Amino acid sequence: MRPLFGSLSLPVLYWMGKRFFSTQVALLGMLLFALYPLHHQYSQEGRNYSLFCFLSLSCYYLLCRALGSRRAGWWILYTLAATLLLYTNYFGGVLLISQAAFLISLKSETVRRSLKFPLYRPWMPTFLLFLLCAGVAAVSFLPWLLTTLHRTVWDSPDIFLEAGLFLRIFKEVSGGGYPLSLLLLPLFGLGVHQLLRRQHWAAAALLLVWFVLPLPIILFLDWSRQYFFPIRQLLFTTPALFLGVAMGIERLPGLFETEGRGQKVRMTILILIMVLSLGSIHRHAGREHADWKGLAEGLKTTVRGDDRVVAPNIDNVLSYRYLEMGERNLPIQQLVDGDEFLPTPQRQRIYLVASIYMTANQKETVKQLLATHDGRPVHQFKGFQVYDLGGR
């Protein structure tokens, strides 16, 4: 069941590609997205990201069907999909913002004329219908959102000051490191450039508001909610990335003097993208699961008696693999504020799990704890480090 939503995303992506570009771009985009390492990874996990990606595609699909049809049923289906989208992931609201931006771009008659399908209604009634449907979805989600905001600590970490943040985004968005990113992102730029050059304004607007616009919004939300930035938060935007890449690949031959040379370059780049994607999938297959499992097994063999474990930001997830975590968990703030922490090795010990999932403030707190209590490394896994802070 885990790959189901990842697989269902492919035909929806094909429809979007065919609707806005061409059959060739749709097929190519679907092929490359099927080999996309991040999409493959999260389609194998029992988490909500492949479902979120599928619902994001579905919302755009249903919105486009509603725009060109007189049937109210498409708007009803869109409202249901948007509601499910919000309940699947908070960043569903970012997708709704991107759709609003796309519709605003259609206010321009020039952009509207470049659509491959006509709007059934005038722009203003269409936009008001969208606001109504998106509003119904947002209101249905409001009780859960208010509960979440009530529990949120607005502490504003310096996410924008994180060293190499944008370089890391550039590297990780392809799921295959710098080599794959250096192919995909310029091709996306080429695809958008070609659309603008050919005056396909609506298709270019779709790619920009779907793939580019969410990034600053997500970074701002992470900053304001004291949350670290994981690349999976951008997964729902990547269908637009691959449609743009497919468009760029299709237009590559036009950059060369002869058609034959352009075709060879296009085929070489396409094969290279596929090889790098498959290599990344093979290299990372099961690695994250193995790291979590290794961490849990390491704690099982190390933690004894009344020892306690401090695992900021991952205590709930870790408890699925380390069942004793619930009774051994010690919140990091209690460790910082408590006056009972004494360096007495003969009594119960405290083990600190540092990870890539910590917020900026948690990283700083961990650094201070390690310096204060002379933390000794016990286990090392990719993304996880276990330290012995001594006795208590």
Is the domain of 306 the same as that of 227?
A: no
Q: Could you tell me which of 215, 146, 384 has the C-alpha nearest to residue 288?
A: 384
102 contacts 60 by C-beta, under 8 angstroms: no
Q: What is the pLDDT of residue 299?
A: 83
Q: What is the pLDDT of residue 154?
A: 45
Is the domain of 35 the same as that of 148?
A: yes
List the pLDDT tens digit at each of the 392 positions of the chain: 557 888 899 999 999 999 999 999 999 999 999 999 988 888 877 678 899 999 999 999 999 999 999 899 999 999 999 999 999 998 999 999 999 999 999 999 999 999 988 899 999 999 999 999 999 999 999 887 777 665 554 444 455 556 578 888 898 898 888 999 999 999 999 999 999 999 999 999 999 999 999 999 999 888 777 777 888 899 999 999 999 999 999 988 888 878 788 889 899 999 999 999 999 887 776 555 557 778 888 888 888 888 888 888 787 777 777 888 778 888 887 777 664 544 444 567 888 888 877 877 788 888 888 888 778 888 887 778 888 887 65
Q: Domain limits at 364?
A: 287-391
Is the domain of 343 the same as that of 219?
A: no
Total number of domains in the chain: 2
CA dihedral 336, 339, 343, 344 (to 10 degrees): -130
Q: What is the pLDDT of residue 148?
A: 67
Is the domain of 263 the same as that of 190?
A: yes
Question: Which of 251, 284, 317 is the C-terminal boundary of a domain?
Answer: 284
Is the domain of 80 the same as that of 179?
A: yes
230 contacts 38 by C-beta, under 8 angstroms: no
Is the domain of 161 the same as that of 256?
A: yes
Question: Which of 239, 260, 284 is the C-terminal boundary of a domain?
Answer: 284
Is the domain of 317 the same as that of 229?
A: no
As a three-state string, the secondary structure of the chain is CCCHHHHHHHHHHHHHHHHHCCHHHHHHHHHHHHCCHHHHHHHCCCCCHHHHHHHHHHHHHHHHHHHCCCCHHHHHHHHHHHHHHHHHCCCHHHHHHHHHHHHHHCCCHHHHHCCCCCCCCCHHHHHHHHHHHHHHHHHHHHHHHHHHHHHCCCCCCCHHHCCCHHHHHHHHCCCCCHHHHHHHHHHHHHHHHHHHHCCCHHHHHHHHHHHHCHHHHHHHHHHHCCCCCCHHHHHHHHHHHHHHHHHHHHCHHHHCCCHHHHHHHHHHHHHHHHHHHHHHHHHHCCHHHHHHHHHHHHHHHHCCCCCEEECCCCHHHHHHHCCCHHHHECCHHHHHHCCCCCCCCCCCEEEEEEECCCCHHHHHHHHHHHHHHCCEEEEEECCEEEEEEEEC
Is the domain of 245 the same as that of 311?
A: no
Is the domain of 262 the same as that of 329?
A: no
- Kindly report the pTM of this predicted structure: 0.78
Is the domain of 349 the same as that of 383?
A: yes
Is the domain of 93 the same as that of 180?
A: yes
> Which residues touch 207 (CB under 8 Å, ≥6 apart)?
188, 191, 192, 195, 240, 243, 244
Q: What is the pLDDT of residue 221?
A: 86
Q: What is the pLDDT of residue 234?
A: 93
- pLDDT, tens digit, 9 for 90 and up, residues 47-97: 788 999 999 999 999 999 999 998 999 999 999 999 999 999 989 999 999
